[in-house]
Every structure is written in structure tokens, then in C-alpha cells.
Amino acid sequence: MPNGPSSVQAFDPRVIRRDFPILGREVYPGKPLVYLDNAATTQKPTAVLDALDTYYREINANVHRAIHRLAEMATDAYEAARSKAAKFIHAPNERGVIYTRGTTEAINLVAHAWGLRHVGAGDTILLTEMEHHSNLVPWQLLAARTGAKLAFIPVSESGELDLASLDRLLDARVKLVAFTHMSNVLGTVNPAREIASRAHAVGARVLLDGAQSVPHMPVDMQALDCDFLAFSGHKLCGPTGIGILAAKPDRIEEMEPFLGGGEMISKVALDHSTWAEPPHKFEAGTPDISGAIGLGAAIEYIERIGMDAIQAYERDLAAYAMAQLDTVPGLVIHGRAAERGAAISFSMAAAHPHDVAHFVDRDGIAIRAGHMCAQPLMRKRGVPALSRASLYFYNTREDVDALVRSLRGVQEFFGRAAR
């Protein structure tokens, strides 16, 4: 099994690309894949694919149940991955690192296990106008169930949060502030530490949606001082169906079980039960064992490259991409925050985003088109949908150039059709 990136020398995306088998394929005859949909999901390196294969071929067994050799090996690998995840995000301890299916389930877990106990009628849940539906709908459901209300930090035209509004929005009624660390639409990187500090000053708890930030930059949960941090494995070169909710020790103690069943119990009688200690208290049933092991392998792979190197490379690549996209006639980039990541959304006067995505797909280029699971933000910006190119450390300037050439073709084709 490969131990990490092919290159242990200076960061070289062309060498790193060799670790990702799918990046070498053609999606149509003569059209090599240019994968620019990384905000939706990332590709998987051989190290992760091998870890999944090894689990099923050599140690497939359930965890925390049996004492035979395979069960011990599977349990060790499963818990080792938890340790890697805890260290990767600098969680306070492993006890507060809970496996989930992804960011969406992690946020729902907080809404049910913590929110139903600590949010009530007259309380406020403070969000932002740029939230993904996964960090909006669970709070709508909680508010409807408890009588709480929702409030929102506005987003400026440049794609930045209006932090001046916090003086008006933050008061003793705010029980939770939940916001994205990095917008999946605008690319904005929000000042998480500042928002958390101001939220804590009025006694509110803080949930940070790290789905887009954890894969692209160093994230230190303790330094950011968030109470909850959620992220997904599949956006971090890991498998689908696995994610993490990390919580401060005090918050873990405030949470009731979300799902009941095997593994999350201590003792069971016919009429009552007691619970296992966290994190197992929140992991009912047979978990995604292979997914957890694959996530551990992905974290090891990423750490060998280095998050600082990844962030620096992506900043440079995103700046190049925005400069090149600005040369395409009729193209408008949505989101120009000073602090931003490598997710770049845009519209074109000549064509609907779905037509744009279909056109560039014929050139082997994969981008996203649609409302990006952020319909309120689309309405705020006056567009039904956008196109999005989202970059990762295995992308190159040549990938960007291929997209720009194809978009020039979009402009020429649909502009000519309009005439």
C-alpha cells in the first residue's frame, strides 16, 4: 500500500496527480478529465482506495463487539482513524469526536441532541445569508418545533459578512450562532474566531460548518474556539458516507442520544436503558467502518502533503483562475471577498448555468451548475442559479486554461445563437 503522495519533494501537483487514478482517464474519446467540482466531492488517491480494499479483503469484521482477531484489528483501525481526525482538527479530545455520515448529519445531530434541550420559545438561532441548506434547514425544523426564531447576518455584494450587524443581532436571547467557515458558493472565508468570541460574550454557543474549510486550510478547533465543528470525509479525499462532529467536552455532556439501538447503550432493561460513554453514545448500530478507515487514510495522505502547502498552492491557483475568468466576455464572478478559498461561482450573460455546464462537459470539464444548495443566497444575488469551478491541490493552471478556452466557446456559440 502506498504510504502517501508519490512526491516527497517540493509541492508539485503534476506529481501528486499520479496518486489519483481517475484523473488519468478520458471522459469522452480524446477528452481527458478536467475535474473542477471539488466543492461537491473530491477524488480519491490510491492510498485511500488501498485502505478500503485492505479492510474488506483482510480485516472485515464489526467493531466493539467481538474478541476474535479480525474484530480487534477492525476496532483498532476504526479508533485509530478517530485519533487521526481529532489531531487533524485539534479537537479538545477524542471523546468529543463523533462519526457521522457527513456534515449534514453532524449538524442535524447537534440540532436534535443539543438543540432540543437548550433552545426554546423566544430564543434566537443566528445564521448567515450564505448558508448551505444543510446549515439552514435543521435550524428551521428546530425553530418550528421549539418556538425559537431565526436571525441572519447579512452578506455584502462582495460576498463578505456584515459583522457590524452583530452589535444589533447578538443579545442574551441568542442561544446558538451557526455559520459556514467557507462559503461553497462565494468562496468567502469567514472570520470564525472573531464571530465565536463575540457570540460567547453573550453566552451563545457556536457551530462551525467546516465542510469547505477543513479540506483546504489548517483548521484548529481550539484556536477558533467553536463549540461544535462539522466536516465531511468525501470533500477531503476520503470516502462518501463518513464525516465528523467534534464538540467541546462541556457540550458533549449537554447532549442526549440522537439515535437508539446497539452500541450506544451501557445497560438495557425492558423498560429503560442507560447510555454508553461518548462518543459511542451517539454512534448507534454498525457504523461505516470502512469509511472511517478510509477517512483516516485520507487524513494521513493530506498531512504528508501539508495543509499549509495546500492552502498556499490553492490561493495562488484561485487568484490565477479569477484573473483568467475575468478575461471571458460576459462572465461575472460572484464573490470577491478579500479572504477566500478556491470555489469560484460565476454567471454568463450568453447562457444559463446548466447550458454552460453541459457545453464544457463536452470538452471533458466537470463543473457544478445550479443553486448550490443555497437558494436564499441565489435570491439575494438575483440569480436563479450559478456555475461553479472549485479547485483542489491536484488541479493545475492547465486545468484552468482548459476551462477558460471552453467558456470562450460558450460565449461564441450562445452569443452567435442570440444574434
Interatomic CA distance for residues 235 and 287, integer angstroms: 19
E strand or H helix at 198, and its extent? helix 192-201
Evaluate whether 38 touches 405 at the Cβ level (below 8 Å): no
CA distances 239 to 16, 50, 104, 352, 388, Å, are: 19, 12, 15, 32, 22
Pairing of strands 124-128, 149-153: parallel
Strands (E) located in 129-199 = 149-153, 174-180
Largest CA distance in the chain: 76
CB atoms within 10 A of CB 276: 18
Evaluate whether 174 touches 124 at the Cβ level (below 8 Å): yes
C-alpha cell at 401: 486554461
CA distances 381 to 185, 301, 345, 390, Å, are: 11, 38, 12, 19
C-alpha cell at 220: 484548529
Interatomic CA distance for residues 149 and 161, integer angstroms: 20
Nearest to 160 by CA among 390, 398, 377, 367: 377
Evaluate whether 222 touches 90 at the Cβ level (below 8 Å): yes
Which residues are the active-site residues? Answer: 373
